[in-house]
Amino acid sequence: MHKPASTHFPLIEPIRNRWSSVIFDEKPIEAEKIGSLFEAARWAASSFNDQPWSYIVATKAQPDVYNKLLSCLMEANQVWAKKADLLAVAVANLTSTRTGKTNRHAQHDVGQANANLVLQATALGLASHQMGGFSPDRARELFEIPAGYEPLTMLAIGYPGETKSAAADLQSRDSSTRSRRPLTDWVFTGTWGTSSSLVE
């Protein structure tokens, strides 16, 4: 399903077209496209170029690891995510490699890497969904993630599926209207809460 955002100002197409689908086709993703996804994450901006992200990833062609990743998700997410060819958990290094101290920007920077990744997925014709509904503790245990590293989010990526072939509740979720708060609600000039005329 194609659901471009209804925007107040022009956007580049990958941003306008990215949304979190819950209906995937089980078609394998080509190796070159998978490489491009993580190349996009690699070139995300980060504080002092610290690059605090790591990913644990698997496709359906690697069932042992794939099923471990799937088992980290909440059951409600497993129902639809199991159709996606690629699952991943994004992990933040909470310690700065530059100073050895806590990197307070680590989670922000992993978020930027994820954003690059899903925008690249959109540009390649892939669907994506980022999830907070998973067990970080289970991921830490299954994949032996060391202390000082935090599993932040999981991602499901794959080719878009046919809406009509999905369960009714998933069809309803996928066909729901996209919405966002107006810019004037959260872009301020001057004091807090004063809407900026720059985004009217």
Residue 25 lies in a domain: yes
Residue 8 C-alpha from the chain's centroid: 24
Tokens of 9: 């100002």
CA distances from 105 to 13, 73, 108, 140, 193 (A): 28, 25, 5, 21, 25
Domain count, the chain: 1
Round to whole Å and give the CA distance between 25 and 39: 23
CA nearest neighbour of 155 among 107, 104, 102, 85: 85
According to DSSP, the residues that pair with 92 across neighbouring strands are 53, 150
Residue 177 lies in a domain: no
Tens-place pLDDT, residues 123-159:
999 999 999 999 999 999 999 999 999 999 999 999 9
Please state the pTM of the whole predicted model: 0.94
- Residue span of the structural domain in which 79 resides: 13-167
Tens-place pLDDT, residues 1-57:
678 999 999 999 999 999 999 989 999 999 999 999 999 999 999 999 999 999 999
Residue 199 lies in a domain: no
